[in-house]
């Protein structure tokens, strides 16, 4: 029996270790930006893009645009997750652990504001205490909330003169897949954190080095 063209594409897509790792990752994380997957899998963005195109062609993944980012998910989460588990079981492999987070994904600059995992921690804290009120989309402007003055005082930040910029805007984090705080306020907060030596220039371009208490400060635990 001659297999259909789609079956051939499907089997070919599954045969590559990197593409299979993408499927395993999306089975766990549900939806991720391409940048996040590249960081998790320790591959370059151009190399990953070629493999994602093959997975789309095999109808295993679909993507959608959110601002500047392309977010990927499985076309059928349950079916592909079951397939991943079956292949791992047949191969005698325990489910692979995700690599640890990289310095770039942990803390970096995005234009003039804080990005990476620490940027997401800041965003989540400011939304939780109603310092900022998110809009309908991940990259919508963030409105000032009733808790903003108190939160800025805690962070030692003066309310910036936004000028023509948004005071604050959600900026979809390319490695975390959720927003961090951009805009004039995001820039003012990063400037303050660097002035207080909670964050400093890291070993690579855009990467930031955090002090031991940086995350606690951003999360409101210190």
Q: Domain ranges for the chain, please list them.
A: 5-100, 104-219
- CB burial of 93-123 (b: ≥16 within 10 Å; e: otherwise) equals eeeeeeeeebebbbbbbbeebbbbbbbbbbb
Please check the confidence at residue 35 and state whether its pLDDT lies above 80: yes
Q: Is 5-100 assigned to CATH 1.20.120.10?
A: no
Q: Which residues of 187-211 are buried (b: 16+ CB within 10 A; e: fewer)?
A: bbbbebbeeeebbeebeeeebbebe
Range of 83-87, 91-95, 122-126 with top mean pLDDT: 122-126
pTM of the model: 0.74
Highest-confidence segment of 5-9, 30-34, 140-144: 140-144
| 8 Å CB contact between 172 and 97 | no
Q: State pLDDT tens for residues 138-166.
A: 899 999 999 999 999 999 999 999 889 99
pLDDT in tens, 94-145: 555 555 678 888 999 999 999 999 999 999 999 999 999 999 988 999 999 9
Q: Which of 75, 88, 74, 86 is nearest to 30 (CA)?
A: 74
Which range among 7-16, 103-112, 187-196 shows the weakest confidence by mean pLDDT? Answer: 7-16
> Comparing 87-96, 165-174, 178-187, 203-212, which segment has the lowest mean pLDDT?
87-96
């Amino acid at each position: 029996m001659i297999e259909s063209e789609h079956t051939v594409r499907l089997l070919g897509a599954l045969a590559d270790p990197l593409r299979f790792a993408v499927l395993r990752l999306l089975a766990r994380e549900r939806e991720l930006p391409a940048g996040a997957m590249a960081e998790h899998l320790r591959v370059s963005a151009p190399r990953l893009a070629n493999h994602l195109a093959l997975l789309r062609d095999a109808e295993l993944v679909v993507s959608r645009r959110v601002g500047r980012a392309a977010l990927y998910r499985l076309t059928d989460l349950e079916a592909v997750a079951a397939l991943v588990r079956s292949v791992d079981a047949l191969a005698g492999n325990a489910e692979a652990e995700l690599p640890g987070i990289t310095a770039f994904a942990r803390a970096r600059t995005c234009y003039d504001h804080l990005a990476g995992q620490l940027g997401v921690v800041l965003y989540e804290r400011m939304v939780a205490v109603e310092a900022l009120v998110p809009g309908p989309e991940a990259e919508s402007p963030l409105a000032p909330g009733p808790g903003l003055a108190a939160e800025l005082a805690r962070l030692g930040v003066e309310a910036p003169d936004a000028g023509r910029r948004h005071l604050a805007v959600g900026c979809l984090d390319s490695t975390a897949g959720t927003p961090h705080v951009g805009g004039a306020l995001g820039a003012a907060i990063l400037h303050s954190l660097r002035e207080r030596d909670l964050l400093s220039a890291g070993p690579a371009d855009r990467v930031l080095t955090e002090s031991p208490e940086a995350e606690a400060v951003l999360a409101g635990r210190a």
